[in-house]
Chains A and B, each alone.
Chain A
Amino acid sequence: MILALLLCAWLLWQQGLSSALVLGDIPGLWRSVWLSGFTGLLSTVLAALLAVYWVQVGQRFAWLVGVPHLALAVGLAQIWSPSGLWGHWSVASGLLAQVPQFPNLRDDNGLFMVFALMLKEAAFLAIVFGSQSTAEDGQRVILARSLGCNRAQAYWRVHVPMMLARGRYAIWLALTYAVTQVEVASVLSPQRPPTLALMIIERLNDARPEAWTQAIWLVLALVVLVMLTIVTFELLLKPLLVHRAFGETLAQRCLSGFSRFAALHIVLSIVILTVLAVSKRWPSGQWLPSGWHIDTLSRVLSGDVFLNTLMLGLTASLLGILIALTLLHFGWRFAGASRIWVVAALGLPSLLTVLGLYWLSVQTQLPSILVLLWGHGFVVLAYQLLLLAPAWQKLPKPLCDQAASLGMRPWQVTSRVRLPLMSRVIATAVAIGFSVSVAQYVSTLVLTGGRVQTLGIEVVIAAGSGQRNYLAASALMLASLPAVVFWISHAAPNWLWRTRKGMQIVD
């Protein structure tokens, strides 16, 4: 918020309000605004429906949350691009004489981008919806059936609207991300014109002097667009979803088919990344690539880029944990005014924050690594507080009082009672912070000018230049790094407390 105001003020001071007229010079601006809004809304609505379904059928795609958008988009592109999996297989099977021209992954309406976005958003929303659903939800659905709804009607008229209503803020977050993201767009965005967010990135990469002014006004336009899409969702789309009273059975069948289709793509995209990461050529007309090797993979693994990504993620995440726990110790609560910045950190388009921070760093000439840690830490900390604050509040007070009555000072109560009790959720928060940092591609690029090379930047560069083996190896590492950290964060507390039965369920 503050950064947005600062940016506006700076613009006004430097160039005056009339500098907004530069927006008029941008070809395809309105189409781009429409594209961003349309793809954002469509992907979020589909993701929400899929997430509700996944919660209901107990589909376990929670791990997908840790896989950066970029890696998933690259995997999907390798399935559907004309020379991807289907293309090669249709020639190998004799179905086609040569590799097909279509589909165009960057079709003008961005449907592939919508699909990729939807998968990731669905995983995120499924986690939120899952944590919010209660045993009573199931009873309500049965009750609705006793009132005369069949299975599909009860699902669409009770289950879906209940989840959508409760998960409102999560949906807003997903919507904001979908409208403003660069990660999936950099691989799958249409080009005639690109999305608004990509237009901004193009302007940051443009040497013309007016490009920066355009970029900043476009960011502000993006903020307005986000608000508009949220309003559109609440006023137009949600009522449509909630009060729809026809075709439930058909919709149910479509949803279950769609869920299978989505699940297939999630699995395939990881598989194809793995296959391409360890192979060189895939001659046309063959079922599988030829020339297996792990040179590229081992080079990526041993390179600076991998190490940078790991170190940056761990530093930002551990720093975040330290700050979060300190704040909680001194009585910070997720309520009132202190909630605003957490919501702002998560809900504002990251491009706005990044541009604001970059502007700040140029003005104050702070070292870029410091600004980078700030940029990452800001978002990381918000996620961690979101997770840690409720856990802190849920700690049994009598236990802490007991410790105090045994003569411990407040910091001792925290370090010797609270922290061990929270070890499990702290480990999860480290993992989440890590995956948030790893996924931060734009801020890393803009704030350091690429000086700190991370896997995300590497993947975007490789994605543009068609070096498939290298691209797949980097994307695979990008996907597996957070997964490994998640796994460790899950396994470590179990191992640590393997002899303490009472610690097995503290969460």
Chain B
Amino acid sequence: MFTKTTQYLLSLAVLSGTAIADQAAFDQLSQDAKDQTVYFHAWGGADSINQYIQWAADEVESRYGVTVEHVKIDDAAAVVSRLLVEKQADKSEGGDVDLMWVNGENFHTLQREGLLADGWTHKLPNMQFTDPDDLSLSFDFGVKVEQQEAPWGRAQLVFFADPTATPDLPTSAAELLAYAEANPGRVSYPRPPQFHGTTFLKQMLSELIDDRSVLNQPADTVDAAAITAPLWGYLDQLHPHLWQQADSFPQDAGAMLQMLDDGVLDIALSFNPSEASQAIADGRLNPDVRSYVHSAGTIGNTHFVAIPFNANAPEGAKVFANFLMSPEAQARKADPNVWGDPTVLDIERLSAEDQARFAALEQGVATLSPAELGRPLPEPHPSWVPVLERLWAERYQP
């Protein structure tokens, strides 16, 4: 007991000490950031998320005098591709991108190609509210983050269906196949390389192989073709029973949700556990729709914001990233009526007032509790993404 208390006090002293030091540096940083314009490149496909980003932008404008422009993109890989070109052309400053929403394979590429600013997230005061031992924050798809991206939110794959119309929800790959066979044309998944589609492949792969740990290793160090063989065998069986016999696929998860509501599909999926609740609250979705997960667990990950090597307004970007991690911004983001994206903060480390913010959040009508969601399955190493996408395309999109 005594040791625990001492440890706690010690760590508190250390923490507040660093926090104070950070605060002075951060004040200087926010002075430098004043009047900067930050171009934040972030996926713009969801109206709710766009509105949340707009809210956050308005807040840092009034609090720090930093202007944030949300550059809506449909694929972060496009930003990576531009940064690659700029790197080749030695455009080492005055870049177009100040901050970008990223994780997984794209982060891996950015880091490998030296397209990121040097480690900076330890300078953000709000990092103190995260759990330093949380591996999901220090590793992104198994790649060490090296303080080059700041955690923003969490995602976990969930499925949506209307239990009144679909009473027997398929909660495994095998059940899904059986369901598709019994209900031809009522099931589909987004077309890879769209990331929800690729995530579906990863989910099925994780369920279909015996030893999941092999996916933590880089794909080129193992026999990827042999390891993924069960997945292709499964999809070969599944595809003839998919929507339009897998001649075409939904563009992404948002499109699937729309198709669920239109009565085209019976099952939709998302990386945002609150998406269905939010769509119902917004009047965009059949109110009978509920969420569910597969019994073996579903893929989960953390998403981050990163600063490129040639950012034009790195100070402003850091100020904005710090605000995005603030208890206030995180609590608002977690609100299912706003976005419903789970927080990256460790609630225990928050002040009582901030803890109350999170406690006050209603769980949406179609949102699963953390217990129901279960422990997320880890993302495979990012090198599996291009392998899965290539093998899928060769097989199904000649």
Contact = CB atoms under 8 A, between A and B. Distances in A.
A367 to B, nearest CB: 9
B244 A451 contact: no
Interface stretch (B38-46, B138-146, B227-235, B343-351): B38-46
Given A464-B255, A468-B258, A449 B97 contact: yes
Interface residues of B, number: 63
B191 A465 contact: no
Contacts of B113: 209
Contacts of B370: none
A28 B397 contact: yes
A121 interface: no
A451 B259 CA distance: 31
A462 B79 contact: no
B95 to A, nearest CB: 9
A193 interface: yes
B109 A207 contact: yes
Interface in B164-214: 185, 191, 194
Contacts of A102: 244
Contacts of B46: 465, 467
A368 B248 CA distance: 37
A83 B398 CA distance: 27
A83 B81 contact: no
Contacts of A460: 74
Contact of B397 (A88, A193, A458, A468): A193
Nearest to B184: A101
B71 A453 contact: yes
Contacts of B44: 458, 461
A83 B251 contact: no
A377 to B, nearest CB: 20
Secondary structure of the A contact surface, majority rule:
loop
B377 interface: no
B72 A453 contact: yes
A208 interface: yes
A448 B96 contact: yes
A211 interface: yes
Contacts of A287: none
Contacts of A468: 258
Nearest to B94: A365
Given A83-B262, A466-B254, A470-B47, A362 B85 contact: yes
B47 A291 contact: no
Nearest to A463: B251
Contacts of B74: 460-461, 464-465
A107 B85 CA distance: 34
A232 interface: no
Contact of B255 (A280, A283, A285, A465): A465
Interface string B310-349: 0000000000000000000000000000000000000000
Contacts of A82: 262, 264
A466 B81 contact: no
Interface string A195-231: 0000000001111110110000000000000000000
Contacts of B106: 207
A469 to B, nearest CB: 7
Contact of B394 (A27, A465, A466): A27
Contacts of B388: none
Contacts of B243: 101
Contacts of B41: 449-450
Nearest to B76: A207
Interface string B54-84: 0000000000000001011111011111101
B157 to A, nearest CB: 17
A83 to B, nearest CB: 3
Contacts of A465: 45-46, 74, 251-255
Contacts of B99: none
A105 B250 CA distance: 11
A466 B251 contact: yes
Contacts of B397: 27-28, 191-193
Kindly name the residue among A208, A282, A457, A466 whose own CB sees the greatest number of chain B CB atoms within 10 A: A466
Contacts of B33: none
Interface string B277-314: 00000111110000000000000000000000000000
Given A101-B244, A284-B262, A451-B71, A466 B47 contact: no
Contacts of B194: 464
B124 interface: no
Listed residue (A91, A105, A362, A448) with the most chain B CB atoms within 10 angstroms of its CB = A362
Nearest to A466: B255
A280 B249 CA distance: 24
Given A204-B78, A212-B85, A284 B263 contact: yes
Interface string A64-91: 0000000000000000001100011001
Contacts of B150: none
Given A284-B263, A461-B44, A466-B252, 19 more contacts: A98-B263, A101-B243, A104-B244, A104-B248, A106-B248, A205-B77, A207-B105, A207-B106, A211-B81, A280-B284, A284-B262, A362-B86, A365-B91, A461-B72, A461-B73, A465-B255, A466-B251, A466-B258, A467-B46
18 contacts: A27-B393, A99-B262, A105-B248, A107-B247, A107-B248, A207-B84, A207-B109, A212-B85, A281-B284, A284-B261, A365-B91, A365-B94, A451-B39, A453-B72, A461-B44, A461-B72, A462-B45, A468-B258
Q: Which 5 A-B pairs have the closest CB atoms?
A: A466-B255, A284-B263, A465-B45, A83-B262, A465-B254
